[in-house]
Amino acid sequence: MKFVDFVKIHIQSGNGGAGAVSFRREKYVPRGGPDGGDGGRGGHVIFRADPELSTLLDFKYQREYIAQKGQNGMKKKMHGKDGGDLIVRVPVGSVISDAETGGLMADMDAPGKEFVAAKGGRGGQGNQHFATAVRQAPKFAQPGMPGEDKLVNIELKLLADVGLIGLPNAGKSTLLSVITTAKPKIADYPFTTLEPMLGVVKLEGFKSFVVADVPGLIEGAHRGVGLGFQFLRHVERTRILAHLVDVSVGQPGDPVQDLEKINRELGLHSPALMEKPQAVVASKADAADPEKLEKLKSYCDENNIDFFSISAVRKKGLGPLLKYLARKAQGGEKEKNAL
């Protein structure tokens, strides 16, 4: 299934039904008077968060959502039927905003949550309501009110407790595949992960927590280099970021510079991301360059950053890291740095 996390759609609620112009015409009722019924309300457009959906793919093929209009009023003071509401299902974590103003309309952050995005037009009153002592036979009624017409953006932000970030090939997908049942693509070339992946970590003695693997950032992502910032929205809701840094012998570059490059990109995307708790994880420690490992650890100690060293392939050092992340995911106390 193709992963789609941003769409723009057109929604329109139903128009209200028109009120009826009618007069009683019955035998033995010489002065029946007006009896036009009211029109029905137009249908609302309602967004509903559905936990069974995980992508906005369906909206790529259908961009218009129009609710049913209300039925017109009828004779004998019969009320027109209200238009049926249109339920638009979106994944949990979707954010709905006005496409023209950019204003937030709703955050669909809980299963089953509903939001009326466009209210149906009110039905018009029939001519029965306009009879007076002076005007006993009104030959007019109210038209139905038009529904609301809007362009809205739907942006999916995955609900995860922990966000894995780092340069391409830092070991994020390997770590996710080892600690969860997720099956991300793993290869020895950059950008093997082209869309966010989620996995659930189940650790004895702790509540399970969700980890999101965000496709690799690179320097210049704010200018659209590489995959740019298009997936960073998926770590905006996380409690903590786990920043993986490759310290293996064959990895070119300086680990501290690599760490600072990505953090600069995070700050350019959203200063709020830099305020999130962040742990640095030295990955591929089974093939570590001792000098790189020590330099990265010293930098973290000097800046009071929680530091861990792991080898996901050999499953070394995962215990302390997972316990730390589990506590953070549950809002627990800060754990001591571990190596």
Q: From residue 101, how far is each of 41, 104, 151, 185 by CA, in Å?
A: 27, 9, 10, 38
The two tokens of residue 252 are 């070119």
Domains recognised in the chain with CATH numbers = 6-156 (2.70.210.12), 162-329 (3.40.50.300)
190-226 CB burial, b ≥16 within 10 A, e <16: eebbebbbbbebebeebeebbbbbbbbbbbebbeeeb
Q: Is there a contact between 14 and 91 (Cβ–Cβ < 8 Å)?
A: no
**Which residue is it, tokens 């941003």?**
6
Q: What is residue 2's predicted lDDT score, i.e. its pLDDT?
A: 55
Distance in angstroms (rounded) separating the CA atoms of residues 166 and 75: 69
Distance in angstroms (rounded) separating the CA atoms of residues 233 and 5: 9
Q: What is residue 335's predicted lDDT score, i.e. its pLDDT?
A: 40
Neighbours of 275 (CB within 10 A): 9
Three-class secondary structure of residue 334 per DSSP: coil
Radius of gyration, CA atoms only, the chain: 29
> Within a 13 Å sphere around the CA of 201, how many CA atoms are in the beta-carbon half?
28
The two tokens of residue 293 are 């490992």
> Within a 13 Å sphere around the CA of 306, how many CA atoms are in the beta-carbon half?
19
Q: What is residue 227's predicted lDDT score, i.e. its pLDDT?
A: 46
Q: Is there a contact between 21 and 104 (Cβ–Cβ < 8 Å)?
A: no
Q: Is there a contact between 273 and 157 (Cβ–Cβ < 8 Å)?
A: no
Q: Is there a contact between 97 and 57 (Cβ–Cβ < 8 Å)?
A: no
**How, if at all, do strands 162-165 and 306-309 pair?**
unpaired
40-49 CB burial, b ≥16 within 10 A, e <16: bbbbbbbbeb
As a residue count, the chain comes to: 339
pLDDT string in tens for the chain (339-residue length): 456 778 999 999 999 999 999 998 877 777 778 999 999 999 999 999 998 887 888 898 899 999 999 999 999 999 999 999 999 999 998 999 999 999 999 999 899 999 999 999 999 999 999 999 889 889 999 999 999 999 999 998 877 889 898 888 888 888 998 998 766 544 443 444 446 777 889 888 888 888 888 776 666 655 555 444 566 777 778 889 999 999 998 888 899 999 998 888 888 877 888 888 999 999 999 999 999 999 999 999 999 999 999 999 899 999 999 999 999 888 744 443 333
Question: Which residues are CB-neighbours of 81 under 8 A, at least 6 positions away?
Answer: 17, 40, 70, 71
Q: Is there a contact between 85 and 34 (Cβ–Cβ < 8 Å)?
A: no
Q: Is there a contact between 75 and 38 (Cβ–Cβ < 8 Å)?
A: no
DSSP per position, 4-37: --EEEEEEEPPPPPPPP--B--BTTBTT--B-PP
Distance in angstroms (rounded) separating the CA atoms of residues 252 and 254: 7
Q: Which among 122, 146, 113 has a CA at the least distance from the CA of 46?
A: 113
Distance in angstroms (rounded) separating the CA atoms of residues 159 and 90: 14
The two tokens of residue 1 are 């299934």
Distance in angstroms (rounded) separating the CA atoms of residues 278 and 123: 55
- Is the whole model's pTM more than 0.85, yes or no? no
Q: What is residue 186's predicted lDDT score, i.e. its pLDDT?
A: 45
